[in-house]
Amino acid sequence: MTGLFKRPTVEAEFKLTDQPVLIVVDDFQEHAYWPETTTVLAEEIAKELKRAEAAQQIVPAARIKRVRQAHPDFDERSTREIGELLGADQVIAVEIRAFHASVDPTQASAAARISVAVKVINVLEKKSRSKVRLWPPSPEGRVVYAELSAARVTEEKTRKAIIKALTAALAEKVVKNFYDRKVEDFETP
């Protein structure tokens, strides 16, 4: 092969540290009326980070649960403070902005969808609040969304399967920001 059709590379928008990274998924506005969504999304992001080799060390969910139980004020702490408490250098902070899903789809297009804002927080920055957010430059974060068609929702059948498919699709889109990759079909570099 001559390399004539070699796919260009899309560079990571932000490369994560090789030190511990914490994933925090929050639903401040309670958009996700299926409460397991936050936990499953964090798990799917962790899996995708490992698959893509975008993070070397990820704080395990079991450790987060233990620390949460040991600290009654856990939910009142800032994302940076939670990262520090768990020994992370960076936090991938994911906030759910919109959510819709049903096991009985009525729309032909997007029968399940989720939208989030993603930020990377520098746990080590304690002096300047303006330097705590590492990525993206926008204070609102990077908005990422995923959706499943009515056909896919019908195929998945159960709430558990729908959440897994929806969060896996979203996790793939979130993590693409953190590693170099080849351009996909129909994607503009």
Decide if pLDDT at 1 tops 50. no
Q: Determine the pLDDT at residue 6.
A: 77
Q: Which of 3-12, 26-35, 149-158 has the lowest mean pLDDT?
A: 3-12
CA separation for the pair 19, 133 (Å, rounded)? 17
Amino acid type, 82 = I
pLDDT tens digits, one per residue of 40-51: 999 999 999 999
- Domains observed in the chain: 18-102+115-145 (3.40.50.10610)
Strand (E) positions, 67-106? 90-100
Q: Determine the pLDDT at residue 55.
A: 97
